[in-house]
Chains A and B, each alone.
Chain A
Amino acid sequence: EVQLVESGGGLVQPGGSLRLSCAVSGFTFSSYEMNWVRQAPGKGLEWVSYISIIGSTVYYADSVKGRFTISRDNAKNSLYLQMNSLRAEDTAVYYCARDKIEVAGPKATDYYYMDVWGKGTTVTVSS
């Protein structure tokens, strides 16, 4: 069974740090790009970060750039999100999501979508 399990969330004071983990099973982790997506209480989905298969390419939302670092360990089938200088507005459920690439159409176009999601881990930033 394909599974993503996030962990590492908790209560942290403003300015503090947390490291989230996403343990993967049921598929070849090293063949997939990955994302972190968050959802503040009562709000919509916000993409946070992306990492390529070997970790050579990463992207971040402007809201976390310079404070968060995405990484992966393909030998351990794990994805990480190091979160520093945390703010109250970082309070959210954090999901890891697998990026699926489908080649389709007459021009063999790459289509990206998040086809498998974990259940999320909750981060609360408060004094």
Chain B
Amino acid sequence: DIQMTQSPSSLSASVGDRVTITCRASQNISNYLNWYHQKPGEAPKLLIYAASSLQSGVPSRFSGSGSGTDFTLTISSLQPEDFATYYCQQSYSTPIAFGQGTRLEIK
């Protein structure tokens, strides 16, 4: 089974900061990598699919990159509504696996 590991597990940042979250797969998953974020009490929301494709309606300050085993999610200028928990997810093979999450908090 493929394991997904995110870093850091938590992160404090300020509005306007540039933030990067990393996700590593335990084996090559090409670009079968999706990113979601989740606010407390809400369902997850898709941000990025296929490692770098922005989901419709998602602000352009979100971007994704990477291929193989190493991936990044970047938020170019943090906005108040971006403080949430972020998850990567591999869709290369079953069982589908999520990373453990990165909690993004206000500094």
Contacts and interface: CB of A to CB of B under 8 A. Distances in A.
A111 B34 CA distance: 9
Interface of A: 35, 37, 44-47, 50, 59, 61-62, 95, 97, 100, 102, 104-105, 111-115, 117-120
Given A44-B98, A111-B49, A111-B91, A95 B44 contact: yes
Contact of B55 (A35, A47, A115, A118): A115
Q: Is the interface of A mostly helix, strand, loop or mixed?
A: strand
Interface of B: 31-32, 34, 36, 38, 42-46, 49-50, 53, 55, 85, 87, 89, 91, 94-101
Closest 10 CB pairs of A and B: A113-B49, A117-B43, A47-B96, A112-B91, A111-B50, A44-B101, A45-B98, A113-B34, A59-B94, A44-B100
Contacts of A104: 50, 53
